[in-house]
Amino acid sequence: MTQERPIADIVLHPVRMKIIQQLGGRSMTTTELREALPEVKQATLYRHVAALLDADVLAVVEERQVRGAVERTLALGERMAHVGQGEMQAMDAVQLRSAFAMFLSGLSNDFEELLDDDHTEMRGMLGFSRAPLYLDAEDLERLQSEFMQVLTPYLQPRRDGQHRISLATVLIPETDGRTPS
């Protein structure tokens, strides 16, 4: 498997982002992916799944025979579709803008689906907020580690009645030149 291409080059494609968003925190068969993404032609879906598999962004977690064909179950792979700090630093301004716009577009689409489907009962689980934090690089690393420890028990369904919720984080350092007092 090749990993030479920067992950941003691999995941910053609208169809690939949709696939990654569908698989975030769960596994799905290729049939389930086709059903979840009806706007994507089957050949196009399979081509992008193959590219994500080749880059270790996706992994095959199970294969089984179904009516003479092999059905694959997919999940996020080793690279986890995460653009790390090293790759962030290597991106130019155009690539960063594109990545951020793709991220925001995905959030916006999820929000619109919630409103379009008129799931008013789900709005109690909706939230968005913003909070300033004061961190150095060491603090940020510790915060991210602690955050994952807190989230880990909630990454898989544990009982009936639970709803899948997308939690997105954005870290944007302020550039106004002020230093904390």
Domains of the chain: 7-129 (1.10.10.10)
Task: State the residue for tokens 């909706």.
Answer: 126
pLDDT for residue 2: 45
Nearest to 162 by CA among 103, 130, 113, 122: 122
Q: Which residue has the higher pLDDT, 4 or 51?
A: 51
Lowest mean pLDDT across 84-88, 131-135, 149-153:
84-88
Q: Please give the structure tokens belonging to residue 3.
A: 């990993």
The DSSP line for 147-171 is: HHHHHGGGSS--STT----------
Q: Which residue has the higher pLDDT, 105 or 93?
A: 93
Q: Is the pLDDT of residue 181 over 70?
A: no
> What percentage of the chain exceeds 70 in pLDDT?
91
pLDDT for residue 7: 75
Q: Is the pLDDT of residue 3 over 50?
A: no
Q: Is the pLDDT of residue 148 over 90?
A: no
Q: Is the pLDDT of residue 33 over 90?
A: yes
Task: State the residue for tokens 């955050």.
Answer: 147
- Check: CB of residue 66 under 8 Å from CB of residue 5: no
Mean pLDDT of 66-90: 79
